[in-house]
């Protein structure tokens, strides 16, 4: 709802729809009603629009999208026009955030004042739509086409101060000030001043003459940064009309653009992503605890054991979260190198104004270098990040168990190893869990937390809470080899080399993936992270080319199909970007260049095995890259390793840069249609048989298709649970 009050001659209309003052239908009805009241009351000389509680409205009610109520009048644009048309000065008083439809309301007002701490923006593009209440036509009239294109096509939130520098905000209220009082005084001071030029629909776009040049520039940038997404392009096309058409015709173009985008699978995927991102914090570890019942332990100090690639980033994340951070290496040289890196990184963040001087100083003084486990006896949480080796990890956990106080939680950053086995090295398995960070750990937003068979409710709640304090998208999963992300990714890489064998070169596979929306293809990613990582894992499994006794068929490991091309590369020193050559070559930059030498390795291999390369369609490449991964996702759901399909999708968006506009692997399967996905998987399974088990259709996928066709993704787990409870 909204509330109406009067402060002498000024009417105050306050949106009151917790938690974020979204502009739901009932709010819109109240706003129009109260604007009419204020307009009709001759004792009212000015009107202030504001939000109760945490914030100014942050936009339309996203829950209403794709439902008929979203179109029920009054619409947000009706309110924008009523605010603009008012004969009395209307002032938006912004605190918290004015986003989307909220900022569009503010653009309907004649004036906008904002707290210095507040944020403004039109983030609709991140929901796969565009600002549909006049924002595409009104924002360029205030801040110019160039800025409006940037703001709308990327959807970032901007500090109010930036808005003020561009003329969007008329006055800033300093931190601690009273925004509502300031707005009332400001509104009163505007009474009697002409409103003509304050009505944005009357104003022209300042840099309209540069429209073609700006359009070309932004289309190019958007194409590079938001590959494959439709909404940013439609946003630009619609903004363009603000420079070329009348306000009224521009609005019509906005309406049409909105209709196109609302009907797209992209907007549905983006809205799904918005809610999924928030849903993952509502974790559930069946039979142990859930987010609502379990209480976290208070963690004041964290020890990070091992300061290699991962440990350094984890330590920085811990420091950013304000924790006293013990950093541990047994070797003094390694300790010094790790500490130097961490301290240097903090200074760089300070130089780049990513953190304040005080924050940097606090982080520096919270680092405690330690070269023995005894030094971390009293910490609340240990995160181990040493080499990926079970024997070493068990040894360390055994020692930590002896040294650390009984309440200390012991977590491992292992990317693949069994958490229960690691826990078995301690006498406190209830206090052991996995905290799988992604490289670089201080930048990547994903944290995959793993509960073991014996992890306690408090341990799980604590690692989930720490993830939140580190501002990570923290997803809780069960324990299995590779957990969720890496277990699925394994089949993506397996299938990729089979495609090389049969039909394509690395750049052809990668192009299909970047056309789909990935920023990089699988082979470029391999080069970037280092092809030796996968090689080490395969060595651990005893399956690399070099480990086989003479006479072992090159393309088999037991009954399983194998392709040693990745092994050949590493054995020839082609470790990736770090050495200037891998699946591609690199000439002084990160740009991958297709390498004739790699083609030669592949060609010779094909000749040796009498493989005649065949034509392969992009569709087949995409299906073979994505469907095994999706199939494994269903197996993970079936086993209860992930609680929901959206948990998997968030792991993929935030850990593996899956293009958000397709929702994630599981949502993409739903978009394609489960029957179609299953059909393709079954065809491959029939052709490959037991030698390629990743094509064996998941029983959950098969059951869902046979019994429900393509049920809504929100129904997958309830349907399965109902089915299981009956059988
Ligand atoms: C169909 C035709 C329509 C035509 C008109 C179009 C008009 C317009 O152009 C379109 C829009 O405005 S599009 C909108 C453009 N605006 C945006 O895209 C802004 C979207 N919002 C945000 O980005 C973040 O919420 C903030 C940064 C505002 C706060 O972040 P924070 O402090 O970390 O808080 P948090 O954890 O994020 O949220 C707390 C709770 O509030 C919930 N909720 C939030 N916004 C909601 C909404 N608009 N709605 C509903 N619910 C919304 C959220 O789900 C969560 O619920 P839970 O049940 O507790 O999980
Ligand atoms: N690198 C990645 O991309 C990545 C991503 C996610 C998870 N992981 C996991 O993180 C862990 C660490 O990987 P990394 O890439 O940072 O390895 P790394 O080789 O870069 O670093 C390991 C560090 O541990 C130190 N170390 C070894 N034994 C130690 C001990 N007993 N006590 C203290 N320090 C010790 C080494 O000196 C080294 O600095 C592994 O389990 C790995 O699987 C790695």
Residue nearest to atom 35 of ligand 2 (CA): 306
Q: SS3 for 93?
A: strand
Spatial separation of the C-alpha atoms in residues 23 and 17, rounded to whole Å: 8
Ligand 1 pocket residue status of 261, Cβ below 6 Å: no
User: Which ligand does the CA of 534 lie closest to?
Assistant: 2
Spatial separation of the C-alpha atoms in residues 93 and 181, rounded to whole Å: 9
Instruction: Provide DSSP, 105-172.
Output: HHHHSSEEEEETT-EEE-GGGGGTS--TTTHHHHHHHHHHHHHHHHHHHH---EEHHHHHHTTS-SEE
Spatial separation of the C-alpha atoms in residues 280 and 486, rounded to whole Å: 18
The phi and psi torsions of 119 (rounded to 5 degrees) equal: -120, 145
Share of the chain above pLDDT 90, in %: 94
Q: How many residues does the chain have?
A: 727
Does residue 66 have a pLDDT over 90?
no
pLDDT digit string, tens, across residues 663-717 = 999 999 999 999 999 999 999 999 998 999 999 999 999 999 999 999 999 999 9
Spatial separation of the C-alpha atoms in residues 633 and 646, rounded to whole Å: 11
Both tokens assigned to 674: 């489960």
Ligand 1 pocket residue status of 66, Cβ below 6 Å: no
Does residue 226 have a pLDDT over 90?
no
Domains in the chain, start-ordered, CATH in brackets? Answer: 2-262 (3.90.226.10), 294-480 (3.40.50.720), 505-608 (1.10.1040.10), 618-726 (1.10.1040.10)
Residue nearest to atom 60 of ligand 1 (CA): 278
What spacing in Å lies between the alpha carbon of 288 and ligand 2's midpoint? 30
Residue that the structure tokens 């060595």 belong to: 539
Q: SS3 for 658?
A: coil
Does residue 454 have a pLDDT over 90?
yes
The phi and psi torsions of 230 (rounded to 5 degrees) equal: -85, -40
Confidence of residue 285 (pLDDT cuts 50, 70, 90): very high
Spatial separation of the C-alpha atoms in residues 410 and 422, rounded to whole Å: 10
Ligand 1 pocket residue status of 664, Cβ below 6 Å: no
Both tokens assigned to 398: 């055994």
Does residue 174 have a pLDDT over 90?
yes
What spacing in Å lies between the alpha carbon of 722 and ligand 1's midpoint? 32
Ligand 1, atom nearest to 19 Cα: 41
* Distances from the Cα of 360 to the Cα of 303, 319, 340, angstroms: 19, 9, 14
Does residue 345 have a pLDDT over 80?
yes
Mutate which of 22, 57, 59, 283 for ligand 1 pocket (most atoms within 8 A of beta carbon)? 59
Beta-carbon contacts of 605 under 8 Å, excluding residues fewer than 6 positions away, are 501, 565, 568, 611
> Counting runs of H as helices and runs of E as strands, what totals does the chain give?
28, 23
Angle at 661 between CA 657 and CA 663, to 5 degrees: 75
Q: SS3 for 54?
A: coil
Spatial separation of the C-alpha atoms in residues 593 and 324, rounded to whole Å: 45
Mutate which of 304, 307, 309, 373 for ligand 2 pocket (most atoms within 8 A of beta carbon)? 309
pLDDT digit string, tens, across residues 574-606 = 999 999 999 999 999 999 999 999 999 999 999
Residue that the structure tokens 């090689």 belong to: 535
According to DSSP, residue 75 is labeled P
What pLDDT was estimated at residue 71? Answer: 76
Q: What is the mean pLDDT of residues 102-120?
A: 98
Spatial separation of the C-alpha atoms in residues 58 and 94, rounded to whole Å: 10
Does residue 304 have a pLDDT over 90?
yes
124 assigned to active site:
yes
What pLDDT was estimated at residue 533? Answer: 87
Ligand 2, atom nearest to 331 Cα: 37
| C-beta of residue 313 within 8 angstroms of C-beta of residue 327 | no
* Distances from the Cα of 279 to the Cα of 291, 315, 670, angstroms: 11, 27, 18
What spacing in Å lies between the alpha carbon of 399 and ligand 2's midpoint? 17
- What does DSSP say about strands 381-384 and 409-412: parallel, antiparallel, or unpaired? parallel
Spatial separation of the C-alpha atoms in residues 201 and 197, rounded to whole Å: 9
Mutate which of 306, 485, 535 for ligand 2 pocket (most atoms within 8 A of beta carbon)? 306
Closest by Cα among 432, 435, 372 to 397? 432
pLDDT digit string, tens, across residues 461-490 = 999 999 999 999 999 999 999 999 999 999
What pLDDT was estimated at residue 73? Answer: 86
pLDDT digit string, tens, across residues 68-110 = 777 788 999 999 999 999 999 999 999 999 999 999 999 999 9
Q: What is the mean pLDDT of residues 201-206?
A: 96
Ligand 1 pocket residue status of 338, Cβ below 6 Å: no
For the chain, the average pLDDT equals 96
Confidence of residue 258 (pLDDT cuts 50, 70, 90): very high
**Catalytic-role residue among 84, 104, 384, 495:** 104
What spacing in Å lies between the alpha carbon of 283 and ligand 2's midpoint? 28
Can you list the pairs that 606-613 forms with residues at least 24 positions away whose Cβ atoms lie under 8 Å?
A: 606/501, 608/554, 609/501, 609/554, 609/555, 611/501, 611/502, 613/502, 613/503, 613/504
Q: What is the mean pLDDT of residues 38-62?
A: 97
Q: What is the mean pLDDT of residues 214-227?
A: 89
Q: SS3 for 384?
A: strand
User: Which ligand does the CA of 391 lie closest to?
Assistant: 2
266 assigned to active site:
no
**Catalytic-role residue among 7, 39, 124, 384:** 124
Beta-carbon contacts of 482 under 8 Å, excluding residues fewer than 6 positions away, are 415, 416, 488, 489, 490
What pLDDT was estimated at residue 248? Answer: 97
What spacing in Å lies between the alpha carbon of 252 and ligand 1's midpoint? 25
What pLDDT was estimated at residue 228? Answer: 81
- What does DSSP say about strands 560-561 and 446-451: parallel, antiparallel, or unpaired? unpaired
Ligand 1 pocket residue status of 97, Cβ below 6 Å: yes
Spatial separation of the C-alpha atoms in residues 119 and 17, rounded to whole Å: 19
Spatial separation of the C-alpha atoms in residues 304 and 314, rounded to whole Å: 7
Alpha helices in 585-673 (DSSP H): 596-608, 618-638, 645-655, 665-672
What pLDDT was estimated at residue 72? Answer: 83
* Displacement of CA 496 from its chain's centroid (Å): 25
Does residue 727 have a pLDDT over 80?
no
Both tokens assigned to 651: 């792991």
Residue 461, burial from CB neighbour count under 10 angstroms (0-12, 13-18, 19+): buried
Spatial separation of the C-alpha atoms in residues 34 and 37, rounded to whole Å: 5
pLDDT digit string, tens, across residues 130-153 = 999 999 999 999 999 999 999 999
Mutate which of 21, 62, 257, 267 for ligand 1 pocket (most atoms within 8 A of beta carbon)? 62
Identify any residues that bridge with 119 across adjacent strands, giving them in sequence order: 97, 159
Ligand 2 pocket residue status of 387, Cβ below 6 Å: yes
pLDDT digit string, tens, across residues 631-653 = 999 999 999 999 999 999 999 99
What spacing in Å lies between the alpha carbon of 177 and ligand 2's midpoint? 49
Spatial separation of the C-alpha atoms in residues 109 and 80, rounded to whole Å: 7
Spatial separation of the C-alpha atoms in residues 291 and 280, rounded to whole Å: 10
Question: CA quadruple 296, 302, 303, 305: dihedral positive or negative?
Answer: positive
* Distances from the Cα of 457 to the Cα of 226, 411, 453, 461, angstroms: 40, 14, 11, 6
| C-beta of residue 443 within 8 angstroms of C-beta of residue 472 | no
């Amino acid at each position: 709802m909204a509330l109406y009050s009067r402060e002498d001659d000024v009417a105050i209309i306050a949106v009151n729809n917790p938690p974020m003052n979204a502009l739901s239908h009932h709010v819109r009805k109240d706003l129009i009603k109260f604007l009419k009241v204020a307009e009709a009351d001759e004792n009212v000389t000015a009107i202030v629009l504001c939000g109760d509680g945490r914030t100014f409205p942050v936009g339309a009610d996203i829950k209403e999208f794709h439902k008929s109520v979203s179109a029920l009048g009054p619409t947000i644009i009706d309110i924008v026009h009523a605010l603009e048309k008012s004969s009395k000065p209307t002032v938006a008083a912004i605190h918290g955030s004015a986003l989307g439809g909220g900022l569009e309301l503010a653009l309907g007002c004649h004036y906008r004042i904002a707290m210095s701490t507040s944020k403004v923006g039109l983030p609709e593009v991140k929901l796969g739509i565009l600002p549909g209440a006049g924002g595409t036509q009104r924002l360029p009239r205030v801040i110019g086409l160039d800025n409006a294109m940037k703001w709308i096509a990327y959807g970032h939130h901007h500090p109010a101060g930036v808005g003020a520098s561009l003329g969007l905000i008329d006055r800033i209220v300093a931190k601690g000030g009273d925004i509502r009082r300031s707005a009332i005084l400001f509104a009163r001071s505007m009474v009697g001043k002409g409103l003509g030029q304050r009505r944005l629909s009357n104003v022209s776009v300042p840099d309209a003459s540069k429209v073609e040049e700006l359009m070309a520039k932004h289309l190019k940038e958007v194409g590079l940064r938001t590959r494959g997404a439709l909404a940013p392009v439609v946003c630009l096309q619609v903004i363009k009309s603000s420079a070329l058409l009348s306000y009224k015709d521009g609005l019509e173009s906005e309406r049409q653009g909105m209709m196109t985008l609302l009907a797209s699978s992209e907007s549905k995927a983006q809205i799904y992503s918005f809610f999924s991102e928030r849903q993952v914090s509502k974790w559930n570890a069946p039979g142990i605890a859930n987010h609502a019942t379990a209480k976290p332990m208070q963690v004041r100090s964290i020890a990070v054991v091992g300061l290699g690639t991962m440990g350094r980033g984890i330590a920085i994340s811990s420091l950013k979260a304000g924790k006293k951070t013990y950093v541990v290496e047994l070797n003094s040289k390694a300790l010094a190198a790790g500490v130097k890196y961490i301290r240097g990184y903090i200074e760089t963040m300070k130089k780049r104004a990513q953190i304040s001087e005080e924050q940097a100083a606090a982080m520096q003084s919270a680092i405690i270098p330690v070269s023995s486990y005894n030094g971390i006896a009293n910490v609340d949480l240990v995160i181990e990040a040493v080499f990926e080796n079970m024997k070493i990890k068990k040894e360390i956990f055994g020692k930590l168990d002896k040294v650390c106080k009984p309440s200390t939680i012991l977590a491992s950053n292992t990317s693949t190893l069994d958490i229960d086995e690691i826990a078995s090295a301690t006498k406190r398995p209830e206090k052991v869990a996995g905290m799988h960070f992604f490289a670089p750990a201080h930048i990547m937003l994903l944290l995959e937390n793993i509960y073991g068979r014996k992890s306690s409710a408090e341990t799980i709640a604590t690692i989930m809470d720490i993830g939140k304090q580190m501002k990570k998208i923290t997803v809780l999963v069960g324990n299995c080899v590779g957990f969720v992300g890496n277990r699925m990714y394994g089949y993506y890489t397996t299938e990729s080399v089979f495609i090389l064998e049969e039909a394509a070169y690395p750049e052809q596979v990668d192009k299909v993936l970047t056309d789909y929306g990935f920023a990089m293809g699988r082979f470029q990613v391999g080069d970037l992270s280092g092809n030796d990582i996968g090689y080490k894992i395969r060595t651990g499994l005893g399956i690399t080319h070099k480990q086989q006794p003479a006479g072992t068929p090159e393309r088999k490991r037991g009954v399983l199909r194998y392709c040693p091309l990745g092994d050949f590369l590493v054995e020839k020193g082609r470790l990736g970007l770090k050495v200037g050559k891998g699946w591609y070559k690199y000439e002084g930059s990160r740009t991958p260049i297709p390498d004739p030498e790699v083609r030669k390795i592949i060609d010779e291999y094909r000749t040796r095995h009498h493989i005649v390369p065949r034509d392969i369609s992009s569709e087949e490449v995409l299906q073979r890259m994505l469907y095994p991964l999706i199939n494994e996702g269903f197996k993970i759901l079936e086993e209860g390793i992930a609680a929901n399909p959206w948990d998997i999708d968030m792991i993929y968006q935030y850990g593996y840069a899956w293009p958000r506009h397709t929702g994630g692997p599981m949502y993409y399967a739903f978009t394609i249609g489960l029957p179609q996905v299953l059909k393709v998987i079954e065809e491959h399974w029939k052709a490959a048989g037991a030698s390629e088990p990743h094509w064996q259709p998941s029983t959950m996928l098969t059951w869902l298709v046979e019994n429900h066709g393509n049920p809504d993704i929100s129904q997958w787990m309830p349907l399965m649970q109902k089915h299981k409870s009956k059988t």
